[in-house]
Amino acid sequence: MSNKKNILFILMPNFRDEEFSVPFNMLYEEGHTLDVAGLEDGEILGANGYKHKADFLLDILSHKDLEKYDALVIPGGPGSTTYLWNNPKIQEIIEFFNEKGKIVATICYACVAAAQAGILKNKKATVYPTAEAKKIFIECDVIFDDAGVVTLENDKIITAQGPKFALEFGQEIINMLGA
């Protein structure tokens, strides 16, 4: 079917298991092509023991490689503060997807990386609502919305608060891919 899309997931060590596995499985069941770029080689271990092997290292991807993807999905979790926050490579990739009019979907602490990339400036978004994450949103001029999932249709941006919204997050990605 021609409506099947190419989706890139970025996965770091200590990701939140269901923030990856729930949308990944939903998108897989829809028949989309899914690639997982790891920040480290080999099997990546989630915060609760879920393991997933990356298809390749994120570092090898060029802008030309990124062109083939229709969406970027970045799960959060405790590893976000170490691997995603203040990471220029992650910010550059988020900016690239956004500038090309592609979907950017982040959940939990990964939403901070989207804020730091500048794509949420003066826009409503959500994040796992800790004082630290909300402080970064303020510093990045992001309007915090306490909703579980915030979808900015025109900007093709989806942010979600955390694991209990993984199903709704996955559904919003599917909806936006079909739009």
Which has the closest alpha carbon to 6: 72, 64, 91? 72
Mean pLDDT over residues 163-168, rounded? Answer: 98
Strands (E), the chain: 6-11, 33-38, 43-45, 51-53, 56-57, 71-74, 103-107, 124-125, 143-144, 149-152, 157-160
Do residues 158 and 151 lie in contact, with contact meaning Cβ atoms separated by under 8 Å? yes
Overall fold of domain 6-178: Rossmann fold (3.40.50)
- Long-range CB contacts for residues 38-41, cutoff 8 Å, separation at least 24: 38/11, 38/12, 39/10, 39/11, 39/12, 39/13, 39/83, 40/12, 40/13
Mean pLDDT over residues 151-178, rounded? Answer: 97
Query: Per-domain residue ranges for the chain?
Result: 6-178
What number of H helices and E strands is found in the chain? 7, 11
Check whether 60 has a pLDDT greater than 50: yes
Mean pLDDT over residues 27-41, rounded? Answer: 95
Q: Please give the pLDDT value at position 1.
A: 42
Q: Please give the pLDDT value at position 42.
A: 87
Spell out the residues 6+ positions from residue 154 whose beta carbon is closer than 8 angstroms to its own: none
Q: How confident is the prediction for the chain on average, in pLDDT?
A: 96
Do residues 103 and 97 lie in contact, with contact meaning Cβ atoms separated by under 8 Å? yes
- Count the residues in the chain: 179
User: CA–CA separation, 179 vs 173, rounded Å?
Assistant: 10
Q: Tens digit of pLDDT for each residue in 90-142?
A: 999 999 999 999 999 999 999 999 999 999 999 999 999 999 999 999 999 99
Check whether 172 has a pLDDT greater than 80: yes
